[in-house]
């Protein structure tokens, strides 16, 4: 290489990497706990962690620092598989925890039975976020394939939320067509032709719709839709609840392999159990997640949720069957996206 | 690298710094640790696939279209950078003006900025409701969420490579060379194309190759502006990430291996052209 002046480049590289290392400065507390979660739970766990830390200190006298890592659900699971020492995982999909269980053995295969409600302390569903006044008149799934409607949803290959979107649309179309799977696939194919951008995660899709002004309707986690409404003011957007959607159960699990090594098992279990406590359920409802014990949450929070018919993943034979069929390599999504010619 | 006379290939040249053996040993060890071991890990992982599955992944229409988009956009962006990088370097070397140091420093910013931040910023500008996008959209020009957006992002992240490789070479070219060309009857056009550019060609090619290589592997800035539609604006690095999200490590490394092979061949060709032009036109430095 000629005598290029690469020093500036090197200086920039060194600077960038030192900043990256500096970001994980050690935190001093009696114990620390790492919760690896997915994108839309940022606000929920910020609140919940503070409440739990206060309770833990009151009960045991120990201070605890809880770190939460957020990102796409699949990517987060992969970091745990690759060695991120998470104490607990709170992800968007069962399949992601299953992957950690089967690839690392750090979580037992029967993890789902270790906490109440199939290890899902709160559930959510998929709703539509539309622009104020609902200019395109979107009421239900069928309206999404009208000619001039643009739909924003992330890529089901990379986003857990997008998989729920996809299955919710499928469930609706199947019901509307008397259980015909081919017609359901036709509908979802048509729906995807109305998608101008595939973001990699749910948060990215929300940004595309809300900040960039792209699209007429956002298929969103119910909690994410309410959050957008709260943050941006209800004068810009409206939530439309379709007649049928899917019950999304974001699951939780203790990562046994890591907590046993770090000696944080008791803390990790207490942390997850606290999600089921009255207080934990209240916080979940406040952050627009449907609590598994609605009776203990604030009534005002519960009343915001509209009633609708909910399909479940069991209608698709569970994630173990649905994941490879719809989103695996060469699955339905890949077939739908084959080039037209 | 291959700057000296091509006919006499000498393993050892006298140097003021002694210790050739140690220097070469260190070089090889260092390269092995940093580059060869990770890359052979990649090759090893993709060899798990076997040829049938590997070729199935490599020649899958979706992989091919992603590779076409990645390499195509990186090529176009590197071309744009080669032209405007030279112009920028020229202005910085040959003129003095207020704020020159600031502009000089600004050139490096794309190096330091996290590329995702660049991607988000560019998308904000070029989205249909963005500062720039709102004027282009009525004209029917779409930049964000199309391959054009990918090129824009790659031009941004690749800009410093050309400027910083060309700049020092340009500083070495004396103004007298141009004056001599003029006294010998060359017009401005001839001076540029027959005197200045040939001397700069090896450096421009180096900058081009660096910008191109950077663009091929770029992920962070692109995924925000690309729209990521399969067969339209899905780049190969994203496809690799998608395979990883499916826990399909073998397929991911397979695509990565294909990218590496193509990149290596292209960079080798660029290097050969570069050494040829250096022989043809002299070192320039």
The confidence score (pLDDT) of residue B206 equals: 92
Nearest Cα residue to A167 out of A95, A98, A110: A95
Chain B residue with the nearest C-alpha to that of A324: B246
pLDDT bin (cut points 50, 70, 90) of residue B11 is low
Residue A24 has pLDDT above 50, yes or no: no
**Percentage above 90 pLDDT, chain B:** 44
Most confident of A24-33, A228-237, B25-34, B37-46: B25-34
Mean per-residue pLDDT, A163-176: 94
Query: Mean pLDDT for chain A?
Result: 87
- CB-based contacts of B134, cutoff 8 Å, min separation 6: B128
Specify which residues A57 forms β-bridges with: none
Whole-angstrom distance, CA of residue A222 vs CA of residue A200: 18
The confidence score (pLDDT) of residue A15 equals: 46
Mean per-residue pLDDT, A208-219: 91
Query: Residues of B numbered 54-73 whose beta carbons fall under 8 angstroms of chain A's beta carbons: which are they?
Result: 61-62, 65
Contacting residues of B for A13, CB less than 8 Å apart? 111
pLDDT in tens, B99-116: 999 999 999 999 889 998
Query: Mean pLDDT for chain B?
Result: 87
CB-based contact, B209 to chain A, within 8 Å: no
**Secondary structure (DSSP) of A148-193:** T--EE---TTT-HHHHHHHHHHHHHHHHHTTT-HHHHHHHHHHHHT
Contacting residues of A for B129, CB less than 8 Å apart? 212-214
| Residue of A9, A39, A330 to mutate for B, most B C-beta atoms under 10 A | A9
Q: Two tokens at A63?
A: 């201070």
| Residue of A103, A155, A215 to mutate for B, most B C-beta atoms under 10 A | A155
pLDDT bin (cut points 50, 70, 90) of residue B8 is low
Using an 8 Å Cβ cutoff, are B274 and B108 in contact? no
User: Around Cβ A125, how many Cβ atoms within 10 Å?
Assistant: 23
Nearest CB partner across the interface for A158, out of B145, B167, B241: B241
Query: Distance between alpha carbon A216 and the CA centroid of its chain, in Å?
Result: 22
Contacting residues of B for A81, CB less than 8 Å apart? 247
The confidence score (pLDDT) of residue A29 equals: 59
**Secondary structure (DSSP) of B9-48:** --S----SS--HHHHHHHHHHHHIIIIIHHHHHHHHHHHT
The confidence score (pLDDT) of residue B246 equals: 80
Residue A338 has pLDDT above 80, yes or no: no
Put simply, the answer to whether A12 touches B224 (Cβ < 8 Å) is no
Min Cα–Cα distance to chain A from B179, Å = 26
What residue segments make up the domains of chain B, in order of their start? Answer: 46-282
Residue A131 has pLDDT above 80, yes or no: yes
Put simply, the answer to whether B229 touches A13 (Cβ < 8 Å) is no
pLDDT bin (cut points 50, 70, 90) of residue A13 is very low
The confidence score (pLDDT) of residue B285 equals: 42
Query: Residues of B numbered 128-167 whose beta carbons fall under 8 angstroms of chain A's beta carbons: which are they?
Result: 128-130, 144-145, 160, 164-165, 167
Using an 8 Å Cβ cutoff, are B79 and B207 in contact? no
The confidence score (pLDDT) of residue A340 equals: 53
Domains belonging to chain A, first-starting first, are: 29-119+249-275 (3.40.190.10), 123-247+307-334 (3.40.190.10)
The confidence score (pLDDT) of residue B7 equals: 52
**Secondary structure (DSSP) of A80-122:** HHTT---SEEE-S-HHHHHHHHHHH-SS-TTGGGSSHHHH-SE
pLDDT in tens, B176-201: 888 898 899 888 888 888 888 888 99
Put simply, the answer to whether B229 touches A328 (Cβ < 8 Å) is no
pLDDT in tens, B215-267: 999 999 999 999 888 888 999 999 998 888 788 888 899 999 999 999 999 88
Residue B207 has pLDDT above 90, yes or no: yes
Contacting residues of A for B224, CB less than 8 Å apart? 204
Mean per-residue pLDDT, A55-66: 92
Helix (H) or strand (E) holding A225: helix A222-232
Give the torsion through C-alpha atoms of B263, B269, B272, B274, to 10 deg.
-80
Angle, helices A7-22/B147-172, rounded to nearest 10 degrees: 130
Mean per-residue pLDDT, A201-227: 89
Question: Of A18-27, A50-59, B51-60, which gets the smallest average pLDDT?
Answer: A18-27
Residue B72 has pLDDT above 80, yes or no: yes
- Cα(first)–Cα(last) distance of chain B, in Å? 14
Specify which residues A67 forms β-bridges with: A34
| Residue of A80, A96, A197, A319 to mutate for B, most B C-beta atoms under 10 A | A197
Residue B10 has pLDDT above 70, yes or no: no
Question: Of A10-14, A118-122, A253-257, B264-268, which gets the smallest average pLDDT?
Answer: A10-14
Helix (H) or strand (E) holding A69: strand A64-69
pLDDT bin (cut points 50, 70, 90) of residue A3 is very low
Contacting residues of A for B62, CB less than 8 Å apart? 334, 337
Put simply, the answer to whether A196 touches B145 (Cβ < 8 Å) is yes
Mean per-residue pLDDT, B191-216: 91
Nearest Cα residue to A337 out of A236, A228, A172, A188: A188
CB-based contact, B172 to chain A, within 8 Å: no
Report angle CA B164, B235, B250 to the nearest 5 degrees. 110
pLDDT in tens, B128-145: 888 998 999 889 888 888
Whole-angstrom distance, CA of residue B224 vs CA of residue B158: 17
Put simply, the answer to whether A99 touches B247 (Cβ < 8 Å) is yes
The CATH code for residues B46-282 is 1.10.3720.10
Put simply, the answer to whether B206 touches A4 (Cβ < 8 Å) is yes
pLDDT in tens, A274-290: 999 999 999 999 999 99
The confidence score (pLDDT) of residue A202 equals: 83
Mean per-residue pLDDT, B146-163: 94
């Amino acid at each position: 290489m000629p005598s290029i002046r690469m020093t500036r480049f090197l200086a920039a590289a060194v600077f960038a990497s030192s900043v990256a290392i500096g970001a994980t400065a050690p935190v001093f507390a009696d114990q620390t706990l790492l919760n690896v979660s997915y994108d839309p739970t940022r606000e929920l766990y910020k609140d919940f962690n503070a409440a739990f830390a206060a309770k833990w200190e009151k009960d045991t006298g120990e201070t605890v620092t809880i770190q939460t890592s957020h990102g796409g659900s699949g990517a987060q699971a992969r970091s745990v598989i690759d060695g991120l020492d998470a104490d607990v995982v709170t992800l968007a999909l069962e399949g992601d925890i299953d992957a950690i269980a089967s690839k690392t053995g750090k979580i037992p295969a029967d993890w789902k039975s270790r906490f109440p409600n199939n290890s899902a302390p709160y559930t959510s569903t998929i709703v539509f976020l539309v622009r104020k006044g609902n200019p395109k008149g979107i009421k239900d799934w069928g309206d999404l394939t009208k000619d001039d409607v643009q739909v924003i949803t992330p890529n089901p290959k990379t986003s857990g939320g997008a998989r729920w979107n996809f299955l919710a649309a499928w469930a609706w179309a199947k019901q509307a067509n008397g259980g015909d799977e081919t017609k359901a696939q036709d509908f979802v194919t048509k729906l995807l032709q109305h998608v101008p951008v595939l973001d990699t995660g749910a948060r990215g899709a929300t940004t595309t719709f809300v900040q960039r002004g792209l699209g007429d309707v956002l298929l969103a986690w119910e909690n994410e839709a309410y959050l957008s409404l709260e943050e941006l003011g209800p004068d810009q957007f409206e939530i439309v609840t379709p007649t049928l959607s899917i019950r999304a159960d974001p699951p939780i699990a203790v990562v046994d392999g890591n907590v046993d090594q770090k000696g944080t098992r008791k803390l990790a279990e207490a942390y997850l159990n606290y999600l089921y406590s009255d207080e934990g359920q209240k916080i979940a409802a406040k952050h627009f997640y449907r609590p598994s014990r609605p009776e203990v949450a604030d009534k005002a929070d519960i009343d915001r949720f509209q009633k609708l018919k909910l399909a479940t993943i069991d209608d698709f034979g569970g994630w173990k069957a649905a994941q490879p069929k719809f989103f695996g390599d060469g699955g339905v999504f890949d077939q739908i996206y084959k080039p037209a010619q | 690298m291959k700057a000296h006379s091509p006919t006499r290939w000498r393993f050892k040249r006298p140097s003021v710094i002694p210790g050739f053996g140690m220097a070469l040993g260190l070089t090889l060890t260092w390269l092995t640790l940093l580059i060869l071991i990770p890359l052979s890990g990649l090759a090893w992982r993709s060899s798990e696939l076997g040829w049938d599955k590997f070729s199935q992944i490599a020649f899958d229409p979706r992989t091919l279209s992603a590779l076409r988009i990645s390499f195509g956009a990186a090529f176009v962006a590197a071309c744009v950078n080669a032209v405007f990088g030279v112009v920028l370097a020229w202005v910085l070397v040959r003129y003095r003006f207020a704020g020159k140091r600031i502009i000089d420093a600004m050139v490096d910013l794309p190096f330091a900025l996290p590329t995702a931040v660049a991607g988000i910023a560019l998308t904000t500008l070029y989205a249909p409701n963005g500062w720039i996008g709102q004027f282009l959209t009525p004209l029917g020009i779409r930049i964000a969420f199309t391959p054009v957006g990918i090129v824009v992002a790659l031009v941004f992240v690749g800009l410093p490579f050309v400027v910083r490789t060309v700049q020092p070479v340009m500083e070495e070219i004396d103004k007298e060379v141009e004056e001599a060309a003029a006294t010998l009857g060359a017009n401005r056009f001839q001076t540029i194309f027959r005197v200045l550019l040939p001397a700069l060609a090896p450096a421009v090619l180096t900058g081009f190759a660096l910008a191109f290589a950077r663009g091929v592997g770029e992920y962070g800035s692109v995924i925000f502006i690309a729209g990521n539609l399969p067969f339209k604006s899905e780049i190969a690095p994203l496809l690799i990430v998608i395979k990883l999200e499916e826990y399909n490590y073998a397929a991911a490394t397979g695509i990565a291996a294909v990218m590496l092979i193509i990149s290596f061949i292209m960079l080798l060709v660029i290097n050969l052209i570069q050494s040829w032009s250096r022989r043809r036109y002299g070192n320039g430095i």
